[in-house]
Amino acid sequence: MKLWTWISIGVLVLGSLAVFVWFLVDVARRGIVPRDE
């Protein structure tokens, strides 16, 4: 239970920040609405 709790906290904090960074990088590369590649 202890392990799952800390994994969950890690997933929430680091996972959400990683997705947000992924979003920013994707917008920088392809724009807000992706262009055809």
Partner 1 sequence: MHPIDYGIVAVYILGVLLLGATVSRRITTFRDWFVAGGRMSTPILVCTLVSTYYGLDVLFGASEVGFVDGVVSWFFYSRPYYFTIVIAALLFAARLRRGSFLSLPDVVARAYGRGTQCIVALASFVYALPILAIMGIGVVLDMLLGIPFAWGVVLGAAVSVVYTLMGGLLADALTDTVQFTLMCVALGVGAALALNAHGGIDALHAALPPSYFEPRGTYPGAILFVFGIGALSVLVEPAFYQRIFAAESYRAILTALGVGAVLWASFDWIVTLLGMVAAAAGYAVEPRAALLALTLDVLPAGLKGMFVAGVIATAMSTIDSYLLIAGGNLAYDIYRPIAGGNIDDATLLRLTRYAVATASIVTVGFALFFTSMVSAWVFMASILVSAALVPTVAALFLERPPRPLAGLLSSSAGLAVAALVFVLTTSLGAWDDEWGTRIWTLTVNGRTIEIWREYAVLFALPVSVVAFLVGQAFGSPRTDVAVADVATSTAAVEAS
- Separation CA 9–CA 5 (nearest Å): 6
Q: Residue numbers of the site for partner 1 (CB under 8 A)?
A: 1-2, 4-5, 7-13, 15-17, 19-20, 22-23, 26, 30, 32-34
Q: How far is the CB of 2 from partner 1 (least distance, A)?
A: 5
Backbone torsions φ then ψ of 9, nearest 5 degrees: -65, -45
Q: How far is the CB of 25 from partner 1 (least distance, A)?
A: 8
Q: How far is the CB of 3 from partner 1 (least distance, A)?
A: 10
Residue 26 CB contacts under 8 Å (≥ 6 apart), including other chains: 34
